Structure 1
Amino acid sequence: MPLQTVTRRARLLCSALPDPLHTAIHRAVLGAALALPLATALQVQPALAESVVTEQEFSIAPGTLESALNSFAATAGVSVSSTPELIQGMRSAGLRGRYTNDQALEKLLMGSRLKVVRQANGSYSLLPPTAAEASSNSALELDATYVTGLSLGATTEGTGSYTTGSTSTATGLPLSIRETPQSVSVMTRQRIDDQGLTQLNDLVRQVPGLSINQSGNGGSDTSTIYSRGFAVENYQVDGVQWLSSNYKSIIQSNDLALYDRVEIIRGATGLTNGIGTPGATLNMIRKKPTFKPQTSLSVTGGSWDYQRTELDTSGPLTESGNVRGRLVGVYQDNESYIDRFNERKKVFYGVIEADLTPDTLLSVGMDYQSHQADDHARSGLPLYNQDGSLADWSDSDSAGAAWAYSNRTFTSGFATLEQRLNERWKAKLTLNQGRYEYDEVIGYAASGFPDPATGAGMGLWAGRWEAKPVQTSLDLNFAGSFDLFGREHDAVFGYSQQDTEYRTNGYPLWRFADWDNSIDNIYNWDGQDPGKPAMPATSRIDYEEAQTAVYGSLRLRASDALSVILGARVSDWENTVKTDYYDPTSADTDDKRTETGVVTPFAGLVYDLDDNWSLYGSYTSIFKPQSNMTETGNYIDPLEGVGYEVGSKAAFFDDRLNLGLALYQIEQDNLAVAIPGVLAPDGNQAYKAESGTKTRGFEVEVSGELAPDWEASASFSRNIVQDSDGNKLNTNVAQNTAKLFTTYTLRSIGNGLTLGGGVNWQSEIYSDGMGPLGVRFTQDDYALVDVMARYPLTEQLSATLNLNNLLDEEYYTSTSSSYYGTPRNATLGLRFNF
């Protein structure tokens, strides 16, 4: 039957396949096709045509497409015919579970772009897509009456989608978003490319429910990500936790070119993190090698001399395709809307996958990121003048001294070994070692308040911190399914260990002997005077942090509609900070904190109302040792509490469109609350502990395909944090946020024009006790509008234009300094696929 006559449902599914630009990327070829012998026809006894609607059990291991089709044909009792050249060099991810023949074949061929024709006798023929079908991204038909679309998997690259089909960050189990009893958002590769997001901070601004309180340059310790009223401190790469309570905001500088997607779980994630805050977990999933050759080269230019070049190449390294590799390289150099500020980035990522046997997969790789910034400022200029009036700065005015800088590099090596133990169970061992190196010389004009007439009264804060933390991680887990009481259930259990350590110099902060920090006139200051003070090391610091845990989770199918997810993690944690002062008059310190046998339970229920809608509820406990200090220098006791969440989720069009509504409450003791204007003895912000606090809120999110060629992500979040007396806490974080971004492809215009746009809105934020008169400073609610357009100039070359902050909204990014958000800006990129 012609494709034009398929049902409306089929057309909806067709639209979810990649657009022409992405199809060109997906079909790009690097080198000649690799040889793979194949019999002209895979012949077995045909079955009756009606048998295709009957489910049966399939167990097909990953491997060549030839072997997968042979196994399928033998199990299904049908014939599958093809030409040798058609599936030459192709691979299949395999299949396990109960499916109809049509569903099984569809999943085996996922991503192949082959056309499937089912004959009247039940046999199948594989054909290449026509040029028209390939360019229109049409779904492939099985017959006139039974048409299915290609389901999404975990990997988002090449799908063109704003959602994913599977995520395991919340429970360790590979579940769909609808099956997960917590709030899940996924920033896919398509969304990242559409909005030109290059840094983790850029991505966070687009994530439902997340916001950034940024008092200085991104990635500094004054740039904090918040979720549900809590600072986000849980970061993972490929599910491996980054363990460093000392300086986590540096991860905000991570470049996104390495990643297929970022999975965000809002709320407590003690099951997969053990010790952590109940705000959110950000899990960055690296790109994987592809079975087919593909290469892309991107060049982007933009406002403030923004220049970025990115190369990404992937494909098989052997004729059989059992060894595959991928390389990603990035170079970026840009000025800024802030005077004198300059950034340079270098990124390299390489990974190799090898099928050692049909049941054994080995992955090894490394990545390197370098981020350098000159005239780096930890804060903006003061909000107020000496007379208490609001200071009137330009958004380009810099608080950074000309000699201040931030140099950061991160290098990691990793290896993963996956072994299929039998038809239903597999083991996975992950080893990772990462080394951060950061050196930041701090100098910023935020001391005092300016005289509006003379510009006098201002001075510099100065200091330095540097270290080379090394983290070694290990995770061994077993995942699979088992039968009990006539039903199949899922399980994962394992052991994890993370160790972080470094030795570094300690330096004095903020004030120095024989150094005058005053600025004569802040209004004509060029960042040069006063010069950098002498900053000799004053101590030697030994830092060690270790966490070990055993964990496990189960999904029990109590009925066809009800799933019960139970899990627990038992963690041991130890943190030692030993400081030896070079000055014999200063007493050395040796702080050691340990927590043993911390149990973090998790319980969740998911009840399916029908094929699309479900209800869910979840409970977890919270435990987080804190490195925040009181004004007397004592560490605040560990954060403790519980989190509850209930909601409803829905999935449509084979999970290509996800909807979610969540209501939550978090109860905690020892919540660290900053004391404005007060420093701890180590020179950092001082905090006080609030007990009996409650966080309440709700979130609504829609993401994925709304209609043919129409992808969207929309959300609204409301969050209120209160102390035991009902007074608001964390008023410097917006209570309400609304975020929308959408794209639509007009295939009738030339080669297919994609237009997109969105708006991010947040409610007002404020802080009390600000300025010389101790008044309340308020940043009113505001909205930022972004638009984009992409057009394929040829089959291989496309151009993308992004306009950010289209209406040139002026706003403060925090309520503690005059640090302005980025004004209107533009980038234009060209991508060549070959």
Structure 2
Amino acid sequence: MSFKRVAGPQARDKSGASGVSKTFCYSLLTLCITHAVSIKTVSAADSVAAPANASKEPSLVVTADTTGGTASDPAQSYTVPATRAGTKLNLTQRDIPQSVSVLTQQRIKDQNLQNVGDALANVTGISASQNDSERVDFYSRGFYINNYTYDDIPSTQTGAWNFGETDGDSAIYERIDVVRGSTGLMTGTGNPGAAINMIRKKADSKTFAGNLSASYGSWDNKRYVADLSGPLNDAGTLRGRVVTGYQDQDSWVDRYHKRKKFLYATVAADISDNTTLDLGYDYQSRNTDGPTWGGLPTWYSNGSKIQYDRGANPSADWTHYNILSRKVFANLTTNFDNGWQVRVNGTHTQSDFDSKLLYVTGYPDQTTGILNSSGYGFAGWYKGLRTQTAVDAYASGPFELFGRQHQLVAGVDYSRQRNRYLYSSSILSPAQIGDWNSWNGDVAEPDWPAWALSSEDTIRQKSGYAAARFSLADPLSLIVGARYTQYSALGTSADMEKNNLTPYGGLVYDINENYSAFASYTSIFQPQTYRDQQGNYLKPVTGKDYEAGIKGDWDNSRITASLSVFRIEQDNLGQIQSDTYVNNSSENAYRASKGVVSRGVDFEINGAVTDNLKVMFGATRYVAKDADGDRTNPYMPQTSLKLFTSYNLPFMPDLTVGGGINWQNRTYKEATNPSGATERVYQGSYPLANLFARYQVTKELSVQGNIKNLFDREYNTNPSGGVAFNEPRNYSVSVNYSF
């Protein structure tokens, strides 16, 4: 095995030169892993296409044996050699001066992560708040994540309305890249917690191939998925791929039933030797009966805690939650002989939901079950429509300056998002709700009032961005960039225009062939609709991220590691001014203030430790406090550990076993008890353990079993609201046929 360090993605050395055997032993935190590799330094002459000045820049090129051993197959890997996460420069993870996690299709398959939400819950540094059965919010480093991108095109999620960003089926994605911290260079607006980039599968096979799978699990969960791809002409210059599936399931929650169907189709056409056009369509439909809305009441009127069965469902029999999403997309990519690439990427999305929901609040009497005088049932019927049209165009490639090779990316993008929400609501009295102790959802559906407009807005963003990676010296590189964004919002929620310049900077120093040290400054901004006493909109909330650490890369990125410390400052946060109003109206006035400071450390090691063993271990610890010194979002864990392993038994090569555990520390929320006092409600720390095993019956046929929540731990999934329970121990068995 031979190595050569390159500026950017690592490339394979085809010279076949023999290497000198050497064992790398590395220890990060409490995890010690030994991995044997072979190393030798190669000159520029060893590389077939080395640049003229390559002798000035020692680099690392990897020659690895990819014959035999499951970990050597890229399709079965837990890592990728390079990613455009963070900057759109195609770099190895150790060359990106931010914390990056990659969740590949193989790990999604091993853990049986059937939707995006399940996948994110298993990413280092990401924590979930399950508001109810249909809405999941994700947080990183103390901040709400509202930046979701699809093949690098941003789409912002709002907490109030759910269009299913986190419930999309994972089968259509090749992998999910997560960048923790501020990501304004690539996403424009948003919060400084993290950005999620979902990379769709491509029609890249010139031979007919496919995978058919069927699974059955707890609560009558039936799931069928087909993934078929191949050439559409003899030359293979026109290729197609279809991923489609259907799922039907009940739940541990009483009276809950869900049906999901999806169709993803894409076509790739080689217009020339250097240019490829990709076209695609993504259809996803989810229909739920008996969805929950918020949590269950916490206390009886006498102050004692209500003890619920785990399957308790506060919804009524007439409730539903239906989401329909349709996306069309296209991208045109041209690769030039000099290493430059030009890409134009466009998408149009239309998503709508229709939901009838019931939320019950108040304090029932422990004996009669009747809600107190302040209690009621809130019935809401909501409809929403969101459309987004976006185009992103950029060019990236190498250039030479002062005798050294550097990299540059520059682009522009435009997006227009229109949101329209309607509602109809009604109040159910305590008498209509009846005995809460024997609640079974049997309550009459109200006579719905006429539809009313909740909000209607159009949001536009026009941006230009650029980033360059300069090779300052043999071991030292500098990444600098900026994004200029023109943001406008017009509608019932706001009428504003904001311009913002978002800088980006990072240094990476190669300590040796395997380790790099980095430091970075990144930022992001989020416009807000609050106004001051004079009627002026407050300046956008800004997030500033300072990060430094060490990264490791072994065996051509088959295994990667990172250890980083960070500090995030969120400023200009709108704070309400008591007894102060906008232009003497009834609208409360706000002022901009210092916001939240989050400080912490995170660590991750991911990939193939040996040809048979793959490991992902991540740990995060942060402390986030507001300007008054109070803990921010205390219902989110500040310490979390995540571990997952997959082991192919050497003495039984057809059998793969594995599992993992997720642990988080104690959290709490501030709630008002029946006496009117504020009380902290705690959720203790807990581990969630999972197991899986897969047996390769034939070359094409495999059988896999998964067990989730092995120890059947029970906890509250809605830490910021009422009471809602996590899924009990459950299983699934799947059969996969590949050809």
Q: TM-score range by the shorter chain?
A: 0.7 to 0.9
Task: Give the alignment partner of residue 493 of structure 1, picking from 410, 414, 427.
Answer: 410
Match among 411, 423, 428 for residue 507 of structure 1: 423
Deviation of 1:641 (Å): 3.6
Cα distance, 1:643 vs structure 2: 1.2
1:55 aligns with 2:50: no
CA contact (8 A) 1:315 1:324 kept: yes
Q: 8 Å contact 2:615–2:645 — kept in the other structure?
A: yes
SS of 2:365's partner is coil
**How many corresponding residue pairs?**
682
User: What is aligned with 2:123?
Assistant: 207
Which residue of the partner structure matches residue 434 of structure 1? Answer: 349
| Number of the residue aligned with 1:800 | 704
Q: How does 1:300-311 map to 2 (within 5 A)?
A: 300-311=215-226
Counterpart secondary structure, 1:321: coil
The aligned residue for residue 82 of structure 1 is none
**1:298 Cα shift?**
0.3
Question: CA-to-partner distance for each residue in 1:376-399, whole Å, 9 max, x for gaps?
Answer: 112121121111111101110001
**Does the 8 A contact of 1:11 with 1:708 survive in 2?**
no
1:278 aligned residue (192, 196, 211): 192
**CA deviation string 1:285-334 (max 9, x = no partner):** 00112233211110000000000000001122222211111100010000
Amino acid at match of 2:738: N
Q: Say whether the 8 Å CA contact 1:779–1:811 is kept in structure 2.
A: yes
The aligned amino acid for 1:768 is E
Aligned residue type for 2:642: K
Q: Could you tell me which residue of structure 2 aligns to residue 605 of structure 1?
A: 507
Task: Establish whether residue 778 from structure 1 lines up as the match of residue 682 from structure 2.
Answer: yes
Give 3-state SS (helix, strand or coil) of 1:715's partner: strand
> What displacement does 1:792 show?
0.9
Cα RMSD, aligned residues only: 3.2
Cα pair distance change 1:724/1:438, threshold 3 Å:
same
Q: Which one of 77, 93, 105 corresponds to residue 189 of structure 1?
A: 105
AA aligned opposite 2:414: Q
Structure 2 CA distance for partners of 1:197 and 1:11, relative to 1, 3 Å: farther
* Residue pairs, 1:284-303, within 5 angstroms: 284-289=198-203, 290-303=205-218
User: What amino acid sits opposite 2:301 in the alignment?
Assistant: Q
Q: Distance in 2 between matches of 1:8 and 1:387?
A: 75
Residue identity matched to 2:726 = G
Distance 1:651 1:814, change over 3 A: same
Q: Given the superposition, is the C-alpha separation of residues 185 and 244 from structure 1 closer, same or farther in structure 2, using an over 3 Å criterion?
A: closer
| Per-residue deviation, residues 367-414 of structure 1 (Å, max 9, x unmatched) | 101111111112121121111111101110001111111110111111
Query: In the aligned structure 2, how far is the partner of 1:479 from the partner of 1:202?
Result: 33
- Which amino acid is 1:538 matched to? A
Matches within 5 A, 1:107-146: 136-137=68-69
The alpha carbon displacement at 1:105 in A equals 12
Query: Is this contact kept in 1: 2:85–2:177, CA < 8 A?
Result: yes
> Hey, what does 1:523 align to over in structure 2?
437
Q: State the AA in 2 paired with 1:831.
A: N
CA 1:403/1:248 → structure 2, altered by over 3 Å: closer, same or farther? closer
2: CA distance, partners of 1:232 / 1:737? 17
Structure 1 residues 332 and 672, CA gap change in structure 2 (3 angstroms): farther
CA contact (8 A) 2:221 2:250 kept: yes
For residues 426-485 of structure 1, what are the alpha-carbon distances to aligned partners after superposition, in whole Å with 9 as ceiling and x for unaligned?
21111110111111212133x111212111116322212212211101011111110011
Q: 1:403 to 1:735 in 2, by over 3 A?
A: same
Q: Which residue identity is paired with 2:171?
A: A
Residue aligning to 1:177: 93
2:154 to 223, 241, 260: 241
Report if aligned partners of 1:471, 1:501 keep a CA contact under 8 Å in 2.
Answer: yes
Residues 564 and 604 in structure 1, CA contact (< 8 A), matched pair in contact too: yes
Match status 1:544 vs 2:458: yes
- Name the SS for the 1:329 alignment partner: strand
Aligned in 2, Cα 1:672/1:228: closer, same or farther, shift over 3 Å?
A: farther
SS state at 2:164 partner: helix
CA separation in 2, counterparts of 1:634 and 1:451?
48
Match of 1:453 in 2: 367
Q: What residue is the counterpart of 1:763 in the other structure? A: 665
In the alignment, the residues of structure 2 paired with residue 784 and residue 168 of structure 1 have an alpha-carbon distance, to the nearest angstrom, of 32
What does residue 566 of structure 1 align with? 480
Give how far 1:337 is off: 0.5
Change (3 A) 1:559 1:285: same
Q: Is the 8 A contact 2:76 2:106 kept in 1?
A: yes
Q: Give the whole-Å Cα distance in 1 for the aligned partners of 2:288 and 2:602.
A: 36
For the 8 Å contact 2:693–2:705, the answer to whether it is kept is yes
Call closer, same or farther: CA 1:8–1:206 in 2, change over 3 Å: farther
Distance 2:318 2:431 in 1: 14
CA contact (8 A) 2:156 2:190 kept: no
Higher-strand-fraction structure: 2
* Equivalent-residue separation in structure 1 for 2:431 and 2:265 (angstroms): 46
Q: What does residue range 720-799 of structure 1 map to in structure 2 within 5 Å?
A: 720-749=623-652, 751-773=653-675, 774-799=678-703
Q: Which residue of 712, 729, 737 maps to 1:824?
A: 729
Task: Report whether the alignment pairs 1:477 with 2:394.
Answer: yes
Q: Which runs of 5+ in 2 are unaligned?
A: 1-17, 25-41, 578-588
**Hey, what does 1:78 align to over in structure 2?**
none
Q: How far apart in 1 are the matches of 2:145 and 2:504?
A: 20
- Alignment identity in percent? 33
Secondary structure of the equivalent of 2:330?
strand
Q: Determine the C-alpha separation between the residues in 1 that align with 2:506 and 2:646.
A: 34
CA contact (8 A) 2:295 2:718 kept: no
Q: Is the 8 A contact 2:182 2:543 kept in 1?
A: no
* CA–CA separation in structure 1 for the residues paired with 2:146 and 2:381: 23
CA offset at residue 716 of structure 1? 0.9
Counterpart Cα distance in 2 of 1:526 and 1:725: 44
Counterparts of 1:635-646 in structure 2, within 5 Å, are 638-646=540-548
1:277 to partner: Cα distance: 0.6
Secondary structure at the counterpart of residue 539 of structure 1: strand
User: TM-score normalised to the size of structure 2?
Assistant: 0.87
Question: TM-score, normalising length from structure 1?
Answer: 0.77
Partner residue of 2:166?
Answer: 252
CA distance in 2, matches of 1:745, 1:11: 22
Give, in angstroms, the shift of residue 708 of structure 1. 2.4
Q: CA deviation at 1:57?
A: 4.9
Aligned to 1:30: none
Task: Find the counterpart in structure 2 of residue 576 from structure 1.
Answer: 490
Check the 8 A contact 1:544/1:575 in 2, yes or no: yes
Tell me the alpha carbon deviations over residues 700-721 of structure 1, each in whole angstroms, 9 at most, x when there is no partner: 1110011221001001101111
Q: Which amino acid aligns with 2:116?
A: L
Q: Are residue 382 (structure 1) and residue 308 (structure 2) matched? A: no
Q: Does 1:595 align with 2:501?
A: no
State whether residues 231 and 238 of structure 2, in contact with CA within 8 Å, keep that contact through their aligned partners in structure 1. Answer: yes
Shift in CA distance, 327/665, structure 1 to aligned 2, threshold 3 Å:
same
Distance change (3 Å), C-alpha of 1:670 and 1:330: same
List alignment gaps of at least 5 residues for structure 1: 1-5, 13-50, 61-96, 114-132, 140-149, 153-157, 579-589, 676-685
Alpha-carbon distance between aligned partners in 1 of 2:311 and 2:20, rounded to the nearest angstrom: 53
Q: Is the 8 A contact 1:371 1:407 kept in 2?
A: yes
